[in-house]
Amino acid sequence: MLKNFWYALEFCSRVTPETPSTIRCLEQDIVMTRDAAGSVTAYNVARPDDEVLPAVERYGFIWVFMGDGTIPVEAAAPIPVWPEWDDPRYGGHEVKGDWWWKANVNRVVENGCDAAHTPFVHAGQFGNPELPQVPDYDVEFPSDWEARLSVELHPPAPKGIFGLGNKMLRRDLKDRPPVLTRTGWQLPNLIRLEVNLSIGQLVIYDTNIPVDATTTLTKWVSLRTFFTGTWADKNAAKRVPPIFVADAEIVENQRPELLPYDLGAELHVKSDAIAVAYRRRLGELREAGFDYDGELIVGSRPALVSA
Ligand SMILES: [Fe+2]
């Protein structure tokens, strides 16, 4: 678990003047409140009289700087850029939800950017067990804080309205083309998944909140460039939890529960390259003192509080 990073802790819409929200992160209860003017304040329950925690609203989330006071917030890694959020081509801003894992955050993040498990773990959903090969891929590093890979997968045709849309809108396609899929991590805890279907693009962001060493709370939002009307939101939302159900079978049963430090301990095949990059980066951050080890999360002036 990493300290001294910005964490997306709660959906903005869940924090109103009437309804504050408390989210546990790094073993500490963080309360987020909103005043009548719309401004958000975050503080640590363990230190109610202390200065507030830096908090900012972006991409429909409240981001809180989970610092121990050793690094000024100005020197922190930036909040990642999610270009789709403000892009008018994307609908689905309200397609979101929560998922609880009995697993360490690093296991959850690694699973989220693993390209090889899809045909097996998600067979019958978007995985195709008949075409399980993962083509070689390169890991790209768009910044010091993120990595991503691109692969062409061969999922079965989508069901329901996505499938119907596919049939109606893309009559020109005789054979189902491969689906260009991008996945990757953004530190400290985020996954970005991009699926390029023939009818348009689907992008899912997961913020994987390290509640404690063996509990993770994922909050996700799913954006799309097709069927952007709110009428399709319910259908789009329904497609996400079954993915987590299948992943939980794997993620919650991995042992040891914490990621091994030794890079060679579990990762052996080429398709593990993005996980290797993740563990290497975690190792560097551990060396640099970013590992959470029971420190109190405290305010760091100047607090950035904005509506
Ligand atoms: Fe998965």
pLDDT tens digits for range 88-104 = 999 999 999 999 999 99
Q: Ligand 1 centre from 116 Cα, in Å?
A: 9
Residue type, 77: A
Question: What is the Å distance from ligand 1's center to 64 Cα?
Answer: 27
User: What per-residue confidence (pLDDT) applies to 267?
Assistant: 67
Q: What is the pLDDT of residues 22-32, one digit of tens each?
A: 999 999 999 99
Q: Domain 96-287 sits in which CATH superfamily?
A: Naphthalene 1,2-dioxygenase Alpha Subunit; Chain A, domain 1 (3.90.380.10)
Q: pLDDT category, 304, cuts 50, 70, 90?
A: very low
Q: In angstroms, rounded to a whole number, what is the distance separating the alpha carbons of residues 47 and 109?
A: 30
- Is residue 169's pLDDT more than 80? no
Ligand 1 geometric centre to CA of 55 (Å): 31
Domains of the chain, residue spans: 5-75, 96-287
| CA–centroid distance, residue 243 to ligand 1 (Å) | 6
User: Could you tell me the distance, in angstroms and rounded to a whole number, from the CA of residue 17 to the centre of ligand 1?
Assistant: 37
Distance 114 CA to ligand 1 centre (A): 7
Measure the CA–CA gap between 270 and 256, rounded to whole angstroms. 22
CA of 96 to the centre of ligand 1 (A): 17
Buried b (16+ CB within 10 A) or exposed e, 152-189: ebbbbebeeebeebbeeeeeeeeeeeebebbbbbbbbb
Tell me the CA–centroid distance for residue 166 and ligand 1, in Å: 23
The full DSSP string for 163-209 is: HHHHHHHTTT-SSPPPEEEEEEEETTTEEEEEEEETTEEEEEEEEEE
The pLDDT value recorded for residue 300 is: 67
Say how many Å lie between the CA of residue 5 and the centre of ligand 1: 25
pTM of the model: 0.92
Residue 103 Cα to ligand 1 middle (Å):
14
In the reported structure, the alpha carbon of residue 127 is separated from the centroid of ligand 1 by a whole-number distance in angstroms of 9
pLDDT single digits (tens) 193-215:
999 988 999 999 999 999 999 99
Ligand 1 midpoint to CA 256 (Å): 19
What is the third-level CATH fold of 5-75?
A: N-terminal domain of TfIIb (2.20.25)
Supply φ then ψ for residue 202, to 5 degrees: -120, 130
CA 92 to ligand 1 center in whole angstroms: 21
pLDDT tens, position by position, 101-114: 999 999 999 999 98
**Residue 307: pLDDT band by 50, 70, 90 thresholds?**
very low
Question: 206 alpha carbon to ligand 1 midpoint, in Å?
Answer: 12
**What are all long-range contacts of 257-262, with beta carbons under 8 Å and residues at least 24 apart?**
257/103, 257/104, 257/107, 257/213, 257/214, 258/104, 258/106, 258/213, 259/104, 259/106, 259/107, 259/110, 261/286
What is the Å distance from ligand 1's center to 65 Cα?
28
